[in-house]
Amino acid sequence: MTVQALSPFRCSNRSLAVFALSVFLASPTLAEDAKQGDRRTAAELLPASVVAYVEVPRLGDVIELVADHPLRQSIQDMPAVRAIGSSDQVRPLRDGIAAFEGGMGRPWDEALTVLTDGGIHLAFDAPTQGAALLIQSSSREQLERFRGVVLALSQLGQGNFGIARQADYRGFTAYALNDNIKLALVDHWFLMTNKPELGKSIIDRYLDGDKHSLAASDSFTAAMAGAGDASMKAYVDVETIRDAGVAPKLYAGKTENVAAEALFGGIVANLAHTPSAVATLDIDPSGVRLTLATPHQSEWETGREYFFGEDSAASAPPLLQVPHQLLAISTHRDLSQMWLRAPDLMTDKANEDLAQADTNLTTFFSNRDFGEDILGSLRPGIQLVVQRQSFDAASPQPAIKLPAFAMQFTMRTPEETTREFRRVFQNLVGFINVVGAMQGQPQLDQDFEQTDSATLLTATYVPPREEDPLAAVPINYNFSPTLAFAGERMIVSSSTQLARTLIGLSAPSESKVKQPNTVAVLNADALADTLRDNKQQLVAQNMLEKGHGPDQANAEIDVLFDILALFKDVTVELDVDDGQLKLTTEVQLQSK
């Protein structure tokens, strides 16, 4: 055997020699010519009762893309990656790769590419509770070697060498990995399953064909057609799973968590009705995009119009754009409606909590009803922006530097609402000052700015009177709460600076084109900068948590920055129209 010669890693491990021997022993003799059935797709081999199906059509392309990626070198050059590469922790992985290469007779990436050039397919069948793995390859020789590797690995794991148990079915030999899992080569297919019935039915379909295979399912074919050319696609028969009583709480439609309802309530409503769901993963040099799509009908939205708008018409305002932007979210949520609908949407316990919150909030809002009057005075479009904050040299530098954040709303009746909120803001600042004074907190100083187009109510923490070398500047100095009005826009901001920036942007125009229901973008650069502003804190935290010395802690935190530097941004988008609900998550890499 030339196992070791073929391996790029010198692996003098004794178990490897044993392993190579057992590959030899386990490799059965071959091999018939390709058959008629080889032209069938995996879906044609699988029963229609499959409830979950995953397909990776061209693993080779993905391997090539990763191998040739411009960031690959910079990742390999990271000290942390080098340290891991030479550490003991990854020894099992290195040994595993060496064993695989030895068994396949070529480098791992090449072997995987050839082995899977007809696609990898994984399916779960509900009636048999069986899972099946189907790999199709143009190379019968690689398939056979792979079978040898799998059998040998399983024997190695069980410490039990020799010829695996086998049985024949319609001319194909099945080998038992253990009591449950069996594998067989079906011409150019590699088949592995935990249920013999499922395996036999696949072979039957391979030889005989079947009009009622998974490929004949309308919802499956429709879903797969929509998935197009993705690097990975998956299909789930939600209806069957739902009917089987899996995770009943998810479909009950009532949550205890108010924030979760506001964020995901509509998705939960959809899952309670949709027949199926499709996931696709697209990988290209610029990044990774995961799309989850389900059929959608507007009659499923009853009770959650606050989320979808009337007839799925919800259209989020455009994303806000400011310098050093960390995060921006735009969404359509009619919070007033959600608040008033809460008894239908949330559990009794959550509603009791809300009722108590109502008592407290109404106190602040000078006896106006919070759900009806306060939330009701705002249109459903909500824009949130988070910005890395810079502090000018003259003002106190808080020891922990938080980003600034702001929300922009549109008022239905600006005249009235402006007056209302102005008073509430003043009340609130006064209240914070009184409570703060009792707790020895710094005091807020209120001020007022009027520009041509806007009014700003600002509150700034009075700087500490004496500089105390021992006392850190408290976290309060991150905030200069500001309420701003410009036309129909109302801006609630944690910092005056950010509020001024937002005032300067133009008002969102009524878009003719329907926008997504919700969209969010997280920028890695600004996130890294914000974390870097607090590096000392992160290092201290690391020392406490890991028991590291300062140098070791610094090195660990630098790894975090190295990793963040690879990314550009993450975008999440929820699109709903009559027919489809689609949730897209896209991770973009730095293009250097």
Minimum CB separation of residue 286 from another protein in Å reads 35
Cβ atoms of 458 and 467 closer than 8 Å: no
Token representation of residue 513: 């084109």
Alpha-carbon distance of 25 to 22, in angstroms, equals: 5
Between 460 and 478, name the residue whose CB sits nearer to another protein.
478
Buried b (16+ CB within 10 A) or exposed e, 382-419: bbbbbbbbebeeeebebeebbbbbbbbbbbeebeebbe
Minimum CB separation of residue 522 from another protein in Å reads 24
Alpha-carbon distance of 573 to 580, in angstroms, equals: 13
Alpha-carbon distance of 204 to 219, in angstroms, equals: 24
Cβ atoms of 142 and 115 closer than 8 Å: yes
Looking at the DSSP bridge assignments, the partners of residue 183 are: 175, 192
Minimum CB separation of residue 372 from another protein in Å reads 12
The helix (H) or strand (E) run that includes residue 516 is: none
Alpha-carbon distance of 502 to 304, in angstroms, equals: 31
- Contacting residues toward another protein, per CB under 8 A: 349, 352, 355-356, 358-360, 362-363, 367, 398-400, 439-440, 465, 468, 470-475, 536-537, 539-540, 543-550
Looking at the DSSP bridge assignments, the partners of residue 328 are: 385, 521
Cβ atoms of 462 and 445 closer than 8 Å: yes
Between 127 and 550, name the residue whose CB sits nearer to another protein.
550
The sign of the dihedral angle between the CA atoms of 427, 360, 308, 247 is positive
Nearest to 424 by CA among 359, 364, 492: 364
Between 237 and 533, name the residue whose CB sits nearer to another protein.
533
Minimum CB separation of residue 21 from another protein in Å reads 25
Alpha-carbon distance of 197 to 204, in angstroms, equals: 10
Between 311 and 348, name the residue whose CB sits nearer to another protein.
348
Minimum CB separation of residue 497 from another protein in Å reads 21
Between 47 and 442, name the residue whose CB sits nearer to another protein.
442
Between 32 and 256, name the residue whose CB sits nearer to another protein.
256
Minimum CB separation of residue 362 from another protein in Å reads 5
Alpha-carbon distance of 375 to 357, in angstroms, equals: 14
- Backbone φ, ψ for residue 260 (5° rounding): -65, -40
Between 244 and 355, name the residue whose CB sits nearer to another protein.
355
The helix (H) or strand (E) run that includes residue 87 is: none
Token representation of residue 205: 């379909």
The CA R_g of the chain, rounded to the nearest whole Å, is 30
Minimum CB separation of residue 157 from another protein in Å reads 13
Minimum CB separation of residue 186 from another protein in Å reads 37
Minimum CB separation of residue 348 from another protein in Å reads 9
Between 117 and 420, name the residue whose CB sits nearer to another protein.
420
Between 273 and 548, name the residue whose CB sits nearer to another protein.
548
